[in-house]
Structure 1
Amino acid sequence: MKFDSSLRYTWTESYDNGSNYGSTLHNHEVNDGFAPIIAATIEPIQGLEFYARYAEAIRAPSLFESTTGFSFNVDPMTSVKPEHAKNTEFGINVLRNGVLTEDDKFRLKIAHFNNKVDDYLTRTNYPAVTVRNIPGARFVGWEGSVGYDVGWGFAELSGTYYDEVEFCAYETGGQLACRPAGVQNGYAQLHVPPKKSGTVTAGVRFLDGDFEVGGRLTYMGDRGTTTTNADTGGFTTVINWEKYTLVDLFASYKFNEHVTIDAAVDNLTDAYYMDALTLGLMPSPGRTVRASLTAKF
């Protein structure tokens, strides 16, 4: 059994010296806090690990969130506290060599995560249009990956699935509401992740591994929840991208220890799509060809 732990202390200070739409008041924030990390791993047999991890993290308000911005009115009398994330993860790792041949490698990871953020920072509509801390947000789901490398070839599959996404905030009338897609007049709904996403990568190696070619298939699902007025509490318009699949090709040739050539074709099928979590009405690049030469002296 193996234990790991650490403790981080964070201290921040910000001061808005600008006028607040005619007000003579200013926003001065001083915040600090401790964030521990504790992890434990059990390996009952070689190559098989069960692990659990609890990690906290503190994110101080950014200058945008603690000073007067164009899209909201900072209230100097309202204290803006840091976000405090409390993340729990447990899972299994399998690391085995020589499964089918003497030199192959097999890797497997399956994990469940429950990420809770207290005092989540976002713009809200209550009691005024301003950035403030809401009680919390929660992201729960699964992630996994499996890979096999036999020397002359390799393949890997990875993916993420969200069981639950939730934002809790006080809304008009002072009632606490927990919604799956944001808060009234908020920014939170702009960051709702896709419910399902995954990537498959495979390739082969030639010339004793100096020449490698392969491809990548990327699937990105939709948000998994609609972002209508009922889901968000209204007011903020979001971009509901369509799910999409991309095909990429890549190649790399190592001339020697000092010179390497890389080439890639991104979005081989020239798919028309909007990036997940995009904030602008701009389609992503179509078919793109890239090449590079790296030399070390």
Structure 2
Amino acid sequence: MTTSAFTMNVNSNVRPERASNWEIGTNLRRDNLLTDDDSAMLKFGYFDWSVKDYIAREWGTTPQGWSGMRIHNIDSAHFAGLEISGRYEVGGFAAELAANYYTDVEFCRTAASCENKSLYADYATNQVPPRYSVDLTLTQKLMDDALTIGGRVSHVGRRAIGHGDVTAQGASQFIALVNWTPYTLVDVFAEYKFNDRLTGTVQNLTDTYYVEPLSLVVQPGPGRTFYGSLTASF
């Protein structure tokens, strides 16, 4: 077996990061919205996160003439977006929705050079979140609430930004992107309660091929998977 790695040169001039984050949102709740016994909740928010002196990684040469990787500060990094969640209940039925959307992801080498792409040789290459994601879960209670059946649909969009930097020779990206593309997953589940508890779940019902966002290796997620459990108390 053979291995190879880059050495990391010391950079004594690195400054600590300083984060400035703020969020604003609202919660709405309403009973008897459509019928006399239902309830609804909606939460909406906006977030804005800024990191001053963001610590990145680059390929460089020391004053002593050593070439290699080193950490250093860029001016800043910025992340902003929207979040929404909601729940509706009526009788034994419930629907839950959760979604988020990034309006801006950017890295600024200097205050005047902000770009919507990750940086050459930086770990952030594979730390860029999806532009958006949506989850919808539906459940229904039956048999005097002894049986609960339900399903979940999850959709993940593309990366929020690309990775435009390449090597000095222009041959390829220094850190390759882990290739994950938009995907949709469907899960179904059931839970039956008597003296004990019996549950069953089928994840990725449609056997979709996908790679999870922010993965550091091209490792596909689980295919169609069945789970079952029986819990008893003595």
Q: Residues 173-218 of structure 1: CA distance to partner in whole angstroms, max 9, x if unpaired?
A: xx97422221121011211111111011112111222211110010
Structure 1 residues 12-61: Cα deviation after superposition (integer angstroms, max 9, x where no partner): xxxxxxxxxxxxxxxxxxxxxxxxxxxxxxxxxxxxxxxxxxxxxxxxxx
2:25 to 86, 91, 102: 91
C-alpha distance in structure 1 between counterparts of 2:41 and 2:19, whole Å: 29
In structure 1, the residue matched to 2:37 is 103
Over aligned residue pairs, what C-alpha RMSD do you find? 2.4
Q: Which residue of 2 aligns with 1:262?
A: 199
User: 1:241 — aligned with what?
Assistant: 180
Question: 2:131 is matched by which residue type in structure 1?
Answer: K
CA–CA distance in structure 2, aligned partners of residues 115 and 150 of structure 1: 37
Asked if the contact 1:88–1:114 (Cα under 8 Å) also holds between the matched residues in 2, the reply is: yes
Equivalence for 1:167:
107
Write the letter of the residue equivalent to 2:128. V
1:123, CA displacement in angstroms?
A: 1.9
Alignment length (residue pairs) = 219
Alignment correspondent of 2:80: 140
| Worse-superposed segment, 189-198 or 287-296 | 287-296
Q: Which residue number corresponds to residue 293 of structure 1? A: 230
Q: CA deviation digits over 1:116-158, x for unaligned, max 9?
A: 1223233223566212333221111111122201131111222
1:155 counterpart residue number: 95
Q: TM-score, normalised by structure 2?
A: 0.83
CA positional deviation for 1:80: 5.3
The residue that corresponds to 2:64 in the other structure is none
Q: Distance in 2 between matches of 1:267 and 1:169?
A: 41
Please list every run of 5 or more consecutive structure 1 residues that lacks an aligned counterpart in the other structure: 1-69
Residues 178, 71 of structure 1: alpha-carbon distance in 2 compared, 3 angstrom cutoff:
farther
- Whole-angstrom distance in 2 between the partners of 1:71 and 1:149: 55
1:158 is aligned with what amino acid? Answer: A
Structure 1 CA distance, aligned partners of 2:11 and 2:82?
A: 40
Residues 146-295 of structure 1 aligned to structure 2 (within 5 Å): 146-169=86-109, 177-229=113-165, 235-256=174-195, 259-295=196-232
Percent identity of paired positions between Structure 1 and Structure 2: 39
Aligned residue for 1:189, secondary structure, equals helix
Shift of 1:242: 1.2
SS state at 1:164 partner: strand
2:65 maps to none
Q: Which moved more, 1:177-186 or 1:275-284?
A: 177-186
Q: Residues of 1 paired with 2:198 and 2:15: CA distance?
A: 50
In structure 1, the partner of 2:47 is 113
The aligned counterpart of 2:69 is: 129
Which residue type is aligned with residue 290 of structure 1?
A: Y
- The 1-side partners of 2:78 and 2:120 are apart by 17
Ranked by relative contact order (alpha carbons within 8 Å, sequence separation 6 or more), the top structure is 2
Partners of 1:178 and 1:125 lie apart in 2 by 20
Residue aligned with 1:208, SS = coil
Give the counterpart letter for 1:271 in structure 2: T
SS in 1 for 2:54: strand
Whether the aligned pair in 2 keeps the contact of 1:104 and 1:150 (CA below 8 Å) is yes
How has the CA–CA distance of structure 1 residues 168 and 190 changed in structure 2, closer, same or farther, with 3 Å as cutoff? same
- Give the 3-state SS of the residue equivalent to 1:229 in structure 2: coil
Runs of 4+ in 1 over 4 A off after TM superposition: none
